[in-house]
Amino acid sequence: MSTAIHIENLCKTYPRSWKNAPTLAVRDISLSIGEGETFGFIGPNGAGKSTTIKILTGVLRATGGRAELFGRDVSQPDARLGLGYVPENPSVYDFLTPLEILRMGMHLHKTKVDDETRHCMEWLNRFALAHVAKQTVRTFSKGMTQRVALAHALAIRPRLLILDEPLSGLDPVGRKDVVDILDEFRRGGGTLFFSSHVLHDVEAIADRFCLIHRGELLTIRSPREILADQADRYIVRYRADTPTEGSEELRSGLYVVETDLSGMSAVISRVQAGGGIIQNVQPKASLEAVFFKAIASTPGGGE
Protein backbone atom coordinates (compact mmCIF):
# COMPACT_ATOMS: atom_id res chain seq x y z
CA MET A 1 0.00 0.00 0.00
CA SER A 2 1.36 3.47 -0.93
CA THR A 3 1.47 6.16 1.72
CA ALA A 4 -0.89 9.13 1.42
CA ILE A 5 0.26 11.01 4.54
CA HIS A 6 3.61 10.61 6.27
CA ILE A 7 4.46 12.60 9.41
CA GLU A 8 7.81 12.18 11.14
CA ASN A 9 8.86 13.84 14.44
CA LEU A 10 6.57 16.78 13.73
CA CYS A 11 6.76 19.74 16.11
CA LYS A 12 5.15 23.16 16.15
CA THR A 13 5.95 25.93 18.62
CA TYR A 14 4.09 29.22 18.63
CA PRO A 15 6.45 32.08 19.59
CA ARG A 16 6.27 34.09 22.79
CA SER A 17 3.75 36.92 22.82
CA TRP A 18 3.92 40.03 25.00
CA LYS A 19 2.14 38.23 27.85
CA ASN A 20 2.56 34.49 27.12
CA ALA A 21 5.53 32.11 27.01
CA PRO A 22 6.17 30.11 23.81
CA THR A 23 3.55 27.39 23.27
CA LEU A 24 4.53 23.90 22.14
CA ALA A 25 1.36 22.90 20.26
CA VAL A 26 2.61 19.69 18.60
CA ARG A 27 5.27 17.47 20.20
CA ASP A 28 7.22 14.98 18.12
CA ILE A 29 4.29 13.35 16.29
CA SER A 30 4.96 10.49 13.87
CA LEU A 31 2.38 8.50 11.87
CA SER A 32 1.71 7.12 8.40
CA ILE A 33 -1.64 6.77 6.61
CA GLY A 34 -2.01 4.53 3.59
CA GLU A 35 -3.84 5.30 0.36
CA GLY A 36 -7.49 4.35 0.61
CA GLU A 37 -7.50 4.51 4.41
CA THR A 38 -10.01 6.42 6.52
CA PHE A 39 -8.21 7.83 9.54
CA GLY A 40 -9.80 9.60 12.51
CA PHE A 41 -7.85 12.25 14.41
CA ILE A 42 -9.35 12.79 17.87
CA GLY A 43 -8.53 14.71 21.02
CA PRO A 44 -9.89 17.42 23.32
CA ASN A 45 -9.89 21.12 22.46
CA GLY A 46 -6.36 22.51 22.27
CA ALA A 47 -4.82 19.06 21.73
CA GLY A 48 -3.03 20.04 18.50
CA LYS A 49 -5.43 18.59 15.93
CA SER A 50 -6.03 21.76 13.93
CA THR A 51 -2.36 22.76 14.12
CA THR A 52 -1.33 19.41 12.62
CA ILE A 53 -3.95 19.71 9.88
CA LYS A 54 -2.83 23.26 9.05
CA ILE A 55 0.75 22.02 8.65
CA LEU A 56 -0.42 19.23 6.32
CA THR A 57 -2.36 21.70 4.17
CA GLY A 58 0.44 24.28 4.01
CA VAL A 59 -1.35 26.89 6.13
CA LEU A 60 1.37 26.69 8.82
CA ARG A 61 5.05 25.78 8.72
CA ALA A 62 6.34 23.16 11.14
CA THR A 63 9.00 24.11 13.67
CA GLY A 64 10.63 20.69 13.37
CA GLY A 65 10.21 17.31 11.70
CA ARG A 66 8.62 16.74 8.33
CA ALA A 67 5.29 16.01 6.70
CA GLU A 68 4.59 14.60 3.24
CA LEU A 69 1.56 14.04 1.03
CA PHE A 70 2.00 11.18 -1.43
CA GLY A 71 5.77 11.38 -1.00
CA ARG A 72 6.07 15.13 -1.57
CA ASP A 73 6.93 17.60 1.16
CA VAL A 74 3.91 19.68 2.16
CA SER A 75 5.90 22.87 1.57
CA GLN A 76 5.73 22.18 -2.17
CA PRO A 77 2.55 23.61 -3.77
CA ASP A 78 2.11 20.68 -6.15
CA ALA A 79 1.83 18.34 -3.14
CA ARG A 80 -1.62 19.82 -2.64
CA LEU A 81 -2.96 19.12 -6.14
CA GLY A 82 -5.87 16.75 -5.65
CA LEU A 83 -6.19 17.61 -1.96
CA GLY A 84 -9.69 18.48 -0.81
CA TYR A 85 -9.58 20.45 2.45
CA VAL A 86 -12.35 21.79 4.66
CA PRO A 87 -11.37 23.66 7.86
CA GLU A 88 -13.51 23.70 11.00
CA ASN A 89 -14.86 27.16 10.16
CA PRO A 90 -14.79 27.46 6.35
CA SER A 91 -14.09 30.92 5.02
CA VAL A 92 -15.31 31.07 1.45
CA TYR A 93 -15.61 34.14 -0.75
CA ASP A 94 -19.08 35.20 0.32
CA PHE A 95 -19.57 37.49 -2.68
CA LEU A 96 -19.43 34.42 -4.96
CA THR A 97 -22.09 31.82 -5.61
CA PRO A 98 -21.67 28.09 -4.83
CA LEU A 99 -21.42 27.35 -8.55
CA GLU A 100 -18.62 29.92 -8.98
CA ILE A 101 -16.76 28.55 -5.93
CA LEU A 102 -16.84 24.98 -7.25
CA ARG A 103 -15.68 26.09 -10.70
CA MET A 104 -12.82 28.05 -9.16
CA GLY A 105 -11.69 25.00 -7.20
CA MET A 106 -11.71 22.84 -10.31
CA HIS A 107 -9.57 25.33 -12.21
CA LEU A 108 -7.03 25.61 -9.36
CA HIS A 109 -6.71 21.82 -9.15
CA LYS A 110 -6.73 21.41 -12.95
CA THR A 111 -9.72 19.07 -12.78
CA LYS A 112 -10.94 18.19 -16.27
CA VAL A 113 -14.51 17.03 -17.00
CA ASP A 114 -16.67 16.96 -20.13
CA ASP A 115 -19.28 19.37 -18.77
CA GLU A 116 -18.01 21.56 -15.92
CA THR A 117 -21.38 23.13 -15.06
CA ARG A 118 -23.17 19.81 -14.95
CA HIS A 119 -20.40 18.30 -12.81
CA CYS A 120 -20.61 21.16 -10.29
CA MET A 121 -24.40 21.05 -10.21
CA GLU A 122 -24.32 17.32 -9.50
CA TRP A 123 -22.22 17.94 -6.40
CA LEU A 124 -24.34 20.88 -5.29
CA ASN A 125 -27.39 18.65 -5.66
CA ARG A 126 -25.71 15.96 -3.53
CA PHE A 127 -25.38 18.54 -0.75
CA ALA A 128 -28.91 19.90 -1.23
CA LEU A 129 -27.62 23.22 -2.62
CA ALA A 130 -28.72 23.08 -6.26
CA HIS A 131 -31.62 25.48 -5.60
CA VAL A 132 -29.20 28.17 -4.33
CA ALA A 133 -26.40 27.50 -6.83
CA LYS A 134 -26.53 31.08 -8.16
CA GLN A 135 -27.14 32.93 -4.90
CA THR A 136 -24.25 34.63 -3.12
CA VAL A 137 -22.91 32.74 -0.11
CA ARG A 138 -23.19 35.79 2.18
CA THR A 139 -26.90 35.00 2.58
CA PHE A 140 -26.27 31.40 3.76
CA SER A 141 -26.47 29.87 7.23
CA LYS A 142 -23.41 28.23 8.85
CA GLY A 143 -24.63 24.78 7.87
CA MET A 144 -25.17 25.79 4.24
CA THR A 145 -21.70 27.36 4.09
CA GLN A 146 -20.24 24.15 5.50
CA ARG A 147 -21.97 22.16 2.76
CA VAL A 148 -20.63 24.53 0.07
CA ALA A 149 -17.10 23.92 1.39
CA LEU A 150 -17.62 20.16 1.38
CA ALA A 151 -19.04 20.22 -2.16
CA HIS A 152 -16.05 22.32 -3.25
CA ALA A 153 -13.63 19.78 -1.74
CA LEU A 154 -15.27 16.83 -3.48
CA ALA A 155 -15.92 18.47 -6.85
CA ILE A 156 -12.17 18.55 -7.59
CA ARG A 157 -12.19 14.71 -7.58
CA PRO A 158 -9.66 14.54 -4.73
CA ARG A 159 -7.47 11.56 -4.01
CA LEU A 160 -7.13 12.84 -0.42
CA LEU A 161 -9.68 14.60 1.78
CA ILE A 162 -8.53 16.40 4.94
CA LEU A 163 -11.46 17.57 7.02
CA ASP A 164 -11.34 19.45 10.33
CA GLU A 165 -14.63 18.84 12.17
CA PRO A 166 -16.55 18.19 8.91
CA LEU A 167 -19.93 17.77 10.64
CA SER A 168 -19.76 20.99 12.65
CA GLY A 169 -22.82 23.17 12.21
CA LEU A 170 -24.88 20.56 10.34
CA ASP A 171 -28.36 19.48 11.37
CA PRO A 172 -29.09 15.74 11.91
CA VAL A 173 -30.27 15.25 8.31
CA GLY A 174 -27.23 17.07 6.94
CA ARG A 175 -24.93 15.03 9.17
CA LYS A 176 -26.31 11.74 7.88
CA ASP A 177 -26.06 12.89 4.25
CA VAL A 178 -22.42 13.94 4.71
CA VAL A 179 -21.48 10.71 6.51
CA ASP A 180 -23.03 8.74 3.63
CA ILE A 181 -21.09 10.78 1.03
CA LEU A 182 -17.82 10.35 2.94
CA ASP A 183 -18.43 6.61 3.19
CA GLU A 184 -19.02 6.51 -0.57
CA PHE A 185 -15.75 8.40 -1.11
CA ARG A 186 -13.95 5.87 1.10
CA ARG A 187 -15.46 2.87 -0.70
CA GLY A 188 -14.35 4.42 -3.99
CA GLY A 189 -10.73 4.21 -2.85
CA GLY A 190 -10.24 7.79 -1.64
CA THR A 191 -8.11 8.58 1.41
CA LEU A 192 -9.86 10.41 4.25
CA PHE A 193 -8.13 12.09 7.20
CA PHE A 194 -10.55 13.86 9.52
CA SER A 195 -10.81 15.24 13.02
CA SER A 196 -14.03 15.10 14.98
CA HIS A 197 -15.39 15.66 18.48
CA VAL A 198 -18.21 13.23 17.63
CA LEU A 199 -16.61 9.94 18.66
CA HIS A 200 -19.50 7.88 17.33
CA ASP A 201 -18.80 9.16 13.80
CA VAL A 202 -15.11 8.26 14.08
CA GLU A 203 -15.96 4.80 15.38
CA ALA A 204 -18.49 4.24 12.60
CA ILE A 205 -16.35 5.10 9.55
CA ALA A 206 -12.65 5.12 10.52
CA ASP A 207 -10.33 2.21 9.68
CA ARG A 208 -7.94 3.51 12.35
CA PHE A 209 -7.80 6.49 14.67
CA CYS A 210 -5.20 8.24 16.77
CA LEU A 211 -5.66 10.13 20.01
CA ILE A 212 -3.70 13.33 20.53
CA HIS A 213 -3.56 15.17 23.87
CA ARG A 214 -1.51 18.26 24.73
CA GLY A 215 0.28 17.95 21.43
CA GLU A 216 1.41 14.35 22.03
CA LEU A 217 0.25 11.22 20.22
CA LEU A 218 -1.10 8.82 22.86
CA THR A 219 -2.37 5.85 20.86
CA ILE A 220 -3.13 4.58 17.34
CA ARG A 221 -5.79 1.89 17.19
CA SER A 222 -8.58 0.41 15.09
CA PRO A 223 -12.24 -0.12 16.08
CA ARG A 224 -11.59 -3.88 15.88
CA GLU A 225 -8.86 -3.57 18.53
CA ILE A 226 -11.25 -1.68 20.79
CA LEU A 227 -13.79 -4.49 20.60
CA ALA A 228 -11.08 -7.09 21.26
CA ASP A 229 -10.19 -5.38 24.54
CA GLN A 230 -13.52 -6.19 26.16
CA ALA A 231 -15.25 -8.48 23.70
CA ASP A 232 -17.50 -10.16 26.29
CA ARG A 233 -18.68 -7.18 28.34
CA TYR A 234 -22.02 -5.45 27.79
CA ILE A 235 -23.97 -2.53 29.24
CA VAL A 236 -27.72 -2.97 29.77
CA ARG A 237 -29.60 0.32 30.02
CA TYR A 238 -33.11 0.29 31.49
CA ARG A 239 -35.82 2.40 33.10
CA ALA A 240 -37.33 1.41 36.46
CA ASP A 241 -38.70 2.78 39.73
CA THR A 242 -36.06 0.84 41.68
CA PRO A 243 -32.72 -0.55 40.43
CA THR A 244 -31.64 -4.17 40.37
CA GLU A 245 -28.52 -5.30 42.23
CA GLY A 246 -25.25 -3.97 40.82
CA SER A 247 -26.85 -1.17 38.79
CA GLU A 248 -25.61 2.41 38.46
CA GLU A 249 -28.05 5.33 38.26
CA LEU A 250 -27.47 7.66 35.32
CA ARG A 251 -30.33 9.95 36.26
CA SER A 252 -33.66 9.59 38.01
CA GLY A 253 -35.32 6.39 36.80
CA LEU A 254 -32.57 5.49 34.30
CA TYR A 255 -30.02 2.81 35.20
CA VAL A 256 -27.22 0.75 33.67
CA VAL A 257 -25.76 -2.58 34.69
CA GLU A 258 -22.69 -4.34 33.31
CA THR A 259 -22.66 -8.04 32.49
CA ASP A 260 -20.95 -10.66 30.35
CA LEU A 261 -22.74 -12.64 27.67
CA SER A 262 -23.37 -15.64 29.92
CA GLY A 263 -25.11 -13.48 32.52
CA MET A 264 -27.10 -11.37 30.06
CA SER A 265 -30.32 -13.42 30.23
CA ALA A 266 -30.36 -13.38 34.05
CA VAL A 267 -29.83 -9.59 34.19
CA ILE A 268 -32.65 -8.93 31.72
CA SER A 269 -34.96 -11.28 33.64
CA ARG A 270 -34.23 -9.49 36.93
CA VAL A 271 -34.90 -6.08 35.38
CA GLN A 272 -38.20 -7.19 33.87
CA ALA A 273 -39.26 -9.01 37.04
CA GLY A 274 -38.82 -5.74 38.92
CA GLY A 275 -41.02 -3.89 36.45
CA GLY A 276 -38.13 -2.37 34.53
CA ILE A 277 -38.14 -1.62 30.79
CA ILE A 278 -35.01 -2.41 28.77
CA GLN A 279 -33.85 0.59 26.72
CA ASN A 280 -30.86 -0.97 24.93
CA VAL A 281 -27.91 -3.35 25.23
CA GLN A 282 -24.50 -2.23 23.95
CA PRO A 283 -20.95 -3.59 24.00
CA LYS A 284 -18.95 -1.96 26.79
CA ALA A 285 -15.95 -1.42 24.55
CA SER A 286 -16.19 1.92 22.72
CA LEU A 287 -14.03 4.71 21.38
CA GLU A 288 -15.41 6.96 24.10
CA ALA A 289 -14.15 4.57 26.79
CA VAL A 290 -10.69 4.46 25.19
CA PHE A 291 -10.68 8.26 24.89
CA PHE A 292 -11.39 8.95 28.56
CA LYS A 293 -9.09 6.16 29.78
CA ALA A 294 -6.17 7.50 27.72
CA ILE A 295 -6.76 11.09 28.82
CA ALA A 296 -6.99 10.06 32.49
CA SER A 297 -3.72 8.11 32.26
CA THR A 298 -1.67 11.14 31.20
CA PRO A 299 0.00 13.42 33.79
CA GLY A 300 -2.62 15.88 34.99
CA GLY A 301 -5.45 13.78 33.53
CA GLY A 302 -8.00 15.82 31.64
CA GLU A 303 -6.97 19.15 33.14
Which overall architecture, per CATH, does domain 3-82+159-227 show? Answer: 3-Layer(aba) Sandwich (3.40)
The model carries a pTM of 0.78
The mean per-residue pLDDT over the stretch 16-42 comes to 88
Query: H helices then E strands: how many in the chain?
Result: 9, 14
Q: How confident is the model at residue 302 (pLDDT cuts 50, 70, 90)?
A: very low
Show Cβ contacts of residue 202 under 8 Å, excluding neighbours closer than 6 positions. Answer: 40, 42, 194, 196, 209, 287
What DSSP string describes 181-213?
Answer: HHHHHHHTT-EEEEE-S-HHHHHHH-SEEEEEE
Which residue, among 190, 87, 98, 184, has the nearest Cα to 176 in the 3D structure?
A: 184
Which tens digit of pLDDT belongs to each residue from 85-106?
Answer: 999 888 899 999 999 999 999 9
| Residue 291, H or E segment | helix 287-297
Quote the pLDDT of residue 231: 60
Q: Do residues 198 and 167 lie in contact, with contact meaning Cβ atoms separated by under 8 Å?
A: yes
Which residue, among 274, 84, 271, 277, has the nearest Cα to 185 in the 3D structure?
A: 84
Cα dihedral: 123, 126, 127, 132 (round 10): 70
Domain segments of the chain as ranges: 3-82+159-227, 90-146, 232-284
Cα dihedral: 83, 89, 90, 95 (round 10): -170
